[in-house]
Amino acid sequence: MDSGTSDIRNYYEKLRGAEHAKNELIEELLDRYERLNRDFTQKKLDHERETSFNREVQLRELQLKDELRQIKATRDRDAFVLVLIDGDGMIFDDRFIHRGEVGGKEAAGILWGTVRDYVDKNVPDLSSDYKIVTRVYANLKGLGEVCNRSGILEKPSIIEDFARGFTSSKQLFDFVDVGYGKDRADDKLSELFKLHLYNCHCRQIIFGCSHDNGYARLLEEIADEPISDRVKLLEGVPFERELATLKSKYQTTKFESLFRTSKINPYQQTYQVPAHQQVPLQQNTPPSQVPMAPAQGGLYQSPYQPGITRTPSMPITNPSMNPTAVSWANAALKTPTQVASPPPTPQPSSATYAIPRNRYGQRVDPPSQYDKVDVTRVKKLHMCNVHFLRGDCPYGDECTHDHFYRANKNEIATLRYIARMTPCRFGTECDDAKCIYGHR
């Protein structure tokens, strides 16, 4: 083969290789295109799906926002502030109650205005058209008699006029008579408190209970929860010891000149008994060592005190204000058919009761341990403190509390602790060795 043919063949081989490379390049480009096209199609589908999802989310968000606005509008439209007052101890000032119905209307008006001012300053994000709901629970007859004996009221029925005026002044204000019986006002207020605590329409609860340690259990349960911010404690008389320990966990307020700042001190209830049943007291005997006379001896000091949870089961009339009042001594002079069952008669004791005192001569109570569960359980038994701890309940068969429950030693110890929650009216100067109340 000559050189010319060889050159042509070489050139042909080069062209054929170039053609092969071109075909490979074209095939590679086609493969890349197909892959990109598939990826594009997938991305397009993903984008369309996300676009559709975002559109649905946006529509749902708009719908939820609209529903939230409606719910907020409904909540704000029915928003209210609840004022709960234990009227047995959180007592309106004398200048109101002695004026009867007129005083009740005036007290309600001032209370409404004071609550309004307080809420506007201390509760943010509350619509201006909120309502104020007020419930006052008290034993009106017992409260009227206490106020009458203490000289605040001319006659006990004036307190009923006051309550009527208070209730009629505002549509959402109620002064409710719970009647005689221990803890009736406490139980109603506690249940109403629990009912509205988690109510979204109830934006604040102003709780007037500074006189009664019994409410400490209720407040302790929620003291560390965020919901406690919705509770404000209203002070009338100074907070009792257990409530005072909770002041750091709750906001407190005081409506000046609207409620009494001290407990009512009524006349002491006494009754005379025949001289032959009286137990003479020796002179020059230190008060802390005088044995207690039985219930039928001499002048009887009523163990019940005003402004506390214990309420007598029958009206008590001061003999000095009602000459015809029937005392246990007068009842003893009547025929047996006219005499109701007398109170139990504890036997006189020759033992001398020592009263513990500190170095300043002030009476102190020995320390005691208690279980919260036992305290709650024993309270529900409604045992008569005076009967089980002193043995001389003056109300006898008329007492509204249980005299027949068979209490064990632990229950008696718990009952003694419960009785100490009520401060003794004589404080650290008390000389009654059998006194069941607290001395601070």
pTM: 0.51
Choose among 258, 180, 194, 254: nearest CA to 227. 194
Higher-confidence residue of 392 and 303: namely: 392
Higher-confidence residue of 323 and 245: namely: 245
pLDDT for residue 163:
95
Average pLDDT, the chain: 78
Higher-confidence residue of 77 and 35: namely: 35
pLDDT one-digit tens code per residue, 391-427? 888 887 778 888 888 889 899 999 999 998 888 888 8
Higher-confidence residue of 146 and 268: namely: 146
Share of the chain above pLDDT 90, in %: 33
257 dihedral zone (left: phi>0; alpha: psi -120 to 50; beta):
left
Q: Find the range with the poorest average confidence among 84-98, 146-160, 177-191, 307-321.
A: 307-321
Q: How confident is the model at residue 272 (pLDDT cuts 50, 70, 90)?
A: very low
pLDDT for residue 395:
80
Choose among 422, 414, 208, 205: nearest CA to 303. 422
Which residue type, as a one-letter code, is found at position 377? R
Rounded to an integer, the average pLDDT of 74-85 is: 86
pLDDT for residue 337:
39
Rounded to an integer, the average pLDDT of 310-321 is: 38
Choose among 73, 211, 98: nearest CA to 154. 98
Task: Map tokens 């005190």 to a residue.
Answer: 305
**Spatial separation of the C-alpha atoms in residues 200 and 385, rounded to whole Å:** 40
**Both tokens assigned to 272:** 């005379």
Is the pLDDT confidence value at 174 over 90?
A: yes
Helix (H, G, I), strand (E, B) or coil at 254: coil
pLDDT for residue 137:
95
Is the pLDDT confidence value at 435 over 50?
A: yes
**Spatial separation of the C-alpha atoms in residues 269 and 149, rounded to whole Å:** 9
In three state form, how does the secondary structure of 38-83 look?
HHHHHHHHHHHHHHHHHHHHHHHHHHHHHHHHHHHHHHHHCCEEEE
